[in-house]
Structure 1
Amino acid sequence: MSKNIGIIGGGTAGLFAACQLKRLSKDTDIRVTILEKNPVPGKKLTLTGHGRCNITNRKDISKLKEGYHEAEKFLYPALMEFGPEDTIAFFENEIGLPTKEEDNNRIFPVCDSAVKVRDALVSYISSDTEIILGADVTSINTGLGFEISTSKGSFVFDYLILSAGGSSFPNTGSVGDSYRFLSSLGHEVIPARGALAPVMADEKSLGFCKSLSGVSVTASVSLYSEGKKAASKTADILFAEFGLTGPAVMEISREVPADIAGKDVYLELDLVPSMSDEEFDREILNLIEQHADTKITTLLSRFVPQSVASEITERAGVEGLYAQGFTKENRRNLCREMKHLKIGLASAPDLKIAYVTRGGASLKQVDRKTMQSKVVPGLYIIGEALDIDGISGGYNLQACMSEAYLAAKDIIRQ
């Protein structure tokens, strides 16, 4: 018996679901249709990895799963069924894109082109899958299958894969359509928030960030909300005109409260994370004793770039001072700014510039072994439509592909 399968959303998850349906349906008669509202499929995919497409991360799954925060347990069966090695094998053996491994276990295509990745996925399914572009879905009704109304006409499917994305980078078409559809079908939807996003400095801290715009340092970054530490990460940060970005900041941005107004929410930067406060103070004291005729700013540039050293000494009230005569109080103020630099936040991460969405379909209503809805039989939910967000480094694309595999496998099994 033929199976008529609809996929709403031709992004990473939707395209990969179609690929897996083709690969797994050797003895099954299926018809697959992708409804994509954009004029081209995979629009957001072409932006990933700064245009190079970090397709997965080769960490052992026991470590990989830790990068998915609260969804670690939910996603584990999907990663076990279709993990990084399966992804690499599919890209190299099925669609003909050799891969390479870079730092931190990140896997990229040798071609370094996200556009070529998108094109290879589309080419793989081109003879078996109908991709209808400019098909903006307006409603989903259930009855005798799934009745889908779109700007390109109406469709009826036996099975439906919802992969219409989240709310981040709305200029790519991700404007929360998934959540509207899910709510109409009786699903609980966790409100969308930005994750893997830059943060905006408040008025008090903005001038400092602006003065260092474009400067990168390695730091330990801790997020505090109402006096309580909410998250921390040690990695590179980048000062910007609007505030802060970089791996350390973006990874903990998901923990910034949505209702930040009126709250004391800030980042504390430790610009010398390899030393304790006491070790840093001793090192400064040693340098002072050895270089009495040297400006403190010059000594500080041993730890951070000169531009950062200049701004820090100004904040500490010790700009222009020489090592000779540098007091204990001076050292205390310098240590405060180097080890406990406070950057106030103006707002929660903006979904317009967030790389991924935190929020989506409640995982309690989705079968983690199949990605099938527990509310609507025959409906499968994958990609950013789910309340899953991973850290940077290939985690989010891998989650999409693992989920897509489970959905395709279960539909073929039915």
Structure 2
Amino acid sequence: MKHTITLSSLSLAILLNLSLSLGLGTLATNSAFASSAPAAEEAEPEKGPHRGRMLREGGVALELSIFETGVPPEFRVWMSENGKAIDPKEVDLNVKLIRLGNVVDDIHFNAQSDFLRGDMEIYEPHSFIVSIEAKYQGNTYRWQYDNFEGRTTIETAVAEAMEIKTEVAGPTTLHQTIPAYGTLALPPGAERSISARFDGEITKVHVGVGEQVKQEQTLLTVESNESLKPYQIKAPADGVVSALFANAGEQTANRPLMTLTDNSQYLAKLAVYPQDFEKVRTGSAISMQLEGLSAGYSGTISFIEPKVRDDQARVVWVKLANDGSLTEGSFVSAQIEVATIAVPLAVKRVGLQGFRDFTVVFAKVGEQYEVRMLELGRQDAEWIEVLGGLEPGTEYVTENSFILKADIEKSGASHDH
């Protein structure tokens, strides 16, 4: 690939749709569109016998090839004059690769066999301006050409309209998790059965089912069969009347009269299976989603049941304060944090794309975007560690990176040595 790519017809189609939906009709006359017209096809560069790029000046020819068979990619150069090979020992050669952001790789060459061999690896992406200076028999020969791949240019206003978002790559903390599922339950002792201390006739029921009551609030009035004096049954704690078994005029008859439930707190009871037993412990952080509720919940494991269930799952408890929306029996899906890892460099997984045989992000420099081939490490649900291929502090695309990939592929951004 030889030239910088401007915004392609695919991106333009996306932008036109966005402009119509967002009322951005005035963008249709923006200069970005004018610069997006397809350029005239250029002739393929001449290739030499070693499949490298041929450069000529007068009778002197230079073939520059990236060699990567059994070694990291490196430059190798063969020179000739009027069709006759030049002894590489007679040539002083320097190649500068000017990368995006004006990063310059300065490569010197040493004679080896019948060619000149560069002294540094040509790391990915192979996208740069190539500037060559060769000195031979008192003459200096200079060539320069573009060798771009995985690069595109999009004006700022257009990128904003496409909602292309960026962040700066740097350190983060990975939170590795395992999934767990279960239901909400009431804690032990949350339900209290209310009965009369002395048998008698119920003269008044002061509360109804579903009513929230406070500790020491009067629940029932009973006239004792022995003393014929009335006394009151009061709430032993805060709670809600979840069941009522008595009516005025009935005898207490040494039976439960109502059930008072403390629903200020619930337990998420989550199943953990044998392959994850060693990863989970009391105090592990948990994030949860309850079926039917949009809000997220968090907590820590407060207790691990000592026995396994019939399906060999072990049940862990997580306390949840009731915000008024929790219901016993609700399904819970959770992520249990099993590791917290500080890493020096990471990117958001949402920004990752495939390019050739690599996983990449798109680095942004001004209005230009270019692939960065990544060596990746550990990950969590949101982030992935970067071990190589990206410099800390690089601005890279997170949201809508697929637009850049589609634009580059549409423009025929193939790998070319």
TM range, smaller chain? under 0.3
Structure holding more strand per residue: 2
Q: Which has the higher contact order (CA 8 A, sep 6+)?
A: 1
Q: Which has more radius of gyration?
A: 2
Q: TM-score, normalised by structure 1?
A: 0.21
Q: TM-score, normalised by structure 2?
A: 0.21
